[in-house]
């Protein structure tokens, strides 16, 4: 039998893209919930179904600045996330495990006892979330996640929200007929404030309520505009998939910067605002209230040490407004440009990037004429969000991950969103 004719290079490339598109579908909510449920049932003989809750991940397009000063943010909901399964335990201690980990963590529920700082961060987040929610009885808890570990802020926010949702379902079911009904589930703003406090306590860095608000705000696909000062949010339509595709390259699951860096920048932002309020441009409660047209004159009134902080925080809030407009008008070139501007400000004014993530963003910028719109670091882990046209995105991700291996020896992961 004659061999089939060899495909031309462009046809082979197109077929490779199609295979990637077909294989890039991440596990959805029901599949991740099934992982958690099955893990629970595999270790017990019968009994009622566990209470299982799910929370979608939400990546920051322009959001990181709100961890240091209240303002406006835009986040993108993901089709995948974190599930938490919970049921009553007959043992004296609560027990926790992850479907990707054979270890078990146990503790005695005690509202006055915060989790040990030596525990893995995700274990502390679950325990602290349950403590804040009022857990007083032993439970069995299983966590299942489809979130990339490098998406630290998105992953931990979804984990805390899912844990609180599972606990409320569990607590409601445990109430006896003769007892007073349990309190209703807290509203979104309250949950967001709890989660913000949990994450700050467990990670040791300042956190925004933008992430937990976006997690609760909408189901994917979609973008969410958040006003962190008012704990309010509005949905934005997601860019059509036939015009825009998103990708994620994760180089490492460790944070880009240390806890000390985040605390120093937080304090510098507070001091810069305090200094600004001694000028005619005050009083302000946040840099989001400053008119962009006044920025240059206001900077002249500030000590040089505070100027980069002010430029970054005022600029990010300004870019949020422009990004919303770009989405509404389908101006994808502007959207990508704003993401690039945000990343450059994070690098030059804030000192919040590193060599690897800068390399990825620069590589995307070099492919602008090939159909790539832009890229930026998302969250505190080494995860870079890319946006471009479909064929260009896949080709770019393949080339950049290969370059990362050749240049840094990193086995970076690429995911089409």
188, 206, 236 - which closes a domain? 236
pLDDT of residue 175: 58
Task: Supply the range of the domain harboring residue 304.
Answer: 245-416
Residue 1 within a domain: no
Query: Does residue 389 fall inside a structural domain?
Result: yes
Per-residue pLDDT of the chain (417 residues), as tens digits, is 444 444 444 444 444 444 444 445 678 899 999 999 999 988 877 778 899 999 999 999 999 999 999 999 999 999 899 999 999 988 889 999 999 988 999 998 876 677 777 899 999 999 999 999 988 899 999 999 999 999 999 999 999 999 999 999 999 877 555 455 556 778 999 999 999 999 999 999 999 999 999 999 866 768 999 999 999 999 998 899 899 999 999 998 899 999 999 999 999 999 999 999 998 888 999 999 998 888 899 999 999 999 999 999 999 999 999 999 999 999 999 999 999 999 999 999 999 999 999 999 999 999 999 999 999 999 999 999 999 999 999 999 999 999 999 999 999 999 998
Express the helix, strand and coil content of the chain in percent, nearest 5 each. 45, 20, 35
In terms of DSSP bridges, do strands 94-98 and 51-62 run parallel, antiparallel, or are they unpaired? unpaired
Residues 383, 354 contacting (CB under 8 angstroms)? no
Number of structural domains found in the chain: 2
Instruction: Say whether 170 sits in a helix, a strand or coil.
Output: helix
Quote the Cα angle for 81-251-312, to 5°.
Answer: 85
Query: What pLDDT, on a 0 to 100 scale, did the predictor assign at position 1?
Result: 44
**What tokens does 242 get?**
């036939």
Question: Which CATH number does the domain housing residue 277 bear?
Answer: 3.30.70.890
Residues 296 and 366 in one domain: yes
pLDDT of residue 387: 98
> Do 273 and 330 belong to one domain?
yes
Residue 231 vs residues 27, 209, 358: alpha-carbon distances, Å: 30, 7, 32
A 10 A CB-CB count for 215 gives 29
67 assigned to some structural domain = yes
Does 45 fall in a domain?
yes
Task: Show the 3-state SS of 100-111.
Answer: CCCCCEEECCCC
- Given strand 381-388, what is the order of strands in its sheet? 372-377, 381-388, 245-255, 413-416
Residue where a domain stops, chosen among 205, 236, 267: 236
* Alpha-carbon separation of residue 362 from 33, 63, 336, 374, 377 (angstroms): 38, 21, 13, 9, 12
3-class DSSP state for residue 72? Answer: strand
Identify whether 215 is part of a domain: yes
pLDDT score at 202: 95
Report phi then psi at 388, rounded to 5: -175, -175
Same-domain check for residues 190 and 335: no
Same domain assignment for residues 181 and 295? no
CATH number of domain containing 89: 3.30.230.10
Which of 160, 141, 175, 176 is CA-nearest to residue 52?
141
Shared-domain flag, residues 89 and 189: yes
In a domain, 11, yes or no: no
Last residue of a domain, one of 182, 211, 236: 236
- Look up residue 27 and give its DSSP letter: -
Beta bridge partners of residue 386, listed in sequence order: 247, 375
């Amino acid at each position: 039998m004659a061999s089939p004719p060899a495909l031309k290079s462009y046809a082979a490339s197109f077929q490779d893209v199609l295979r990637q598109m077909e294989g890039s579908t991440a596990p959805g909510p029901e599949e991740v919930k099934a992982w958690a449920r099955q893990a629970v049932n595999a270790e017990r003989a019968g009994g009622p179904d566990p209470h299982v809750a799910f929370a979608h991940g939400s990546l920051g397009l322009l959001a990181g600045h709100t961890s240091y000063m209240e303002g406006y943010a835009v986040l993108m909901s993901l089709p995948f996330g974190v599930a938490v399964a919970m049921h009553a335990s007959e043992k004296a201690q609560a027990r926790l495990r992850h479907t990707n980990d054979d270890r078990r963590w146990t503790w005695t529920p005690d509202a006055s006892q915060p989790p040990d700082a030596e525990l893995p961060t995700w274990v502390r987040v679950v325990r602290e979330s349950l403590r804040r929610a009022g857990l007083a009885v032993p439970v069995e808890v299983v966590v299942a996640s489809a979130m990339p570990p490098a998406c630290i802020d998105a992953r931990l926010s979804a984990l805390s929200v899912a844990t609180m949702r599972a606990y409320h379902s569990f607590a409601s079911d445990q109430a006896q007929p003769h007892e007073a009904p349990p309190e209703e589930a807290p509203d979104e703003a309250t949950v967001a404030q709890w989660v913000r406090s949990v994450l700050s306590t467990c990670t040791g860095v300042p956190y925004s309520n933008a992430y937990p608000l976006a997690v609760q705000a909408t189901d994917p696909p979609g973008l969410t505009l958040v006003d962190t000062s008012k704990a309010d949010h509005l949905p934005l339509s997601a860019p059509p998939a036939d015009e825009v595709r998103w990708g994620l390259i994760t180089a490492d699951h460790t944070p880009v910067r240390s806890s000390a860096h985040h605390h120093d920048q937080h304090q510098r932002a507070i001091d810069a605002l305090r200094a600004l309020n001694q000028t005619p441009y005050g009083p302000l409660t946040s840099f989001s209230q400053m008119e962009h047209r006044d920025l240059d004159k206001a900077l002249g009134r500030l000590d040089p040490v505070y100027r980069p902080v002010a430029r970054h925080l005022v600029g990010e809030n300004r870019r949020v407004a422009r990004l919303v407009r770009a989405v509404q008008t389908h101006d994808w070139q502007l959207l990508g440009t704003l993401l690039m501007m945000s990343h450059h400000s994070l690098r030059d004014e804030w000192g919040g990037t590193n060599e690897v993530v800068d390399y990825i963003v620069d590589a995307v910028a070099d492919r602008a004429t090939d159909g790539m719109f832009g890229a930026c670091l998302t969250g505190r882990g080494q995860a870079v969000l890319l946006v471009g046209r479909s064929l260009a995105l896949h080709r770019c991700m393949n080339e950049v991950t290969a370059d990362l291996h050749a240049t840094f020896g990193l086995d970076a992961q690429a995911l089409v969103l």
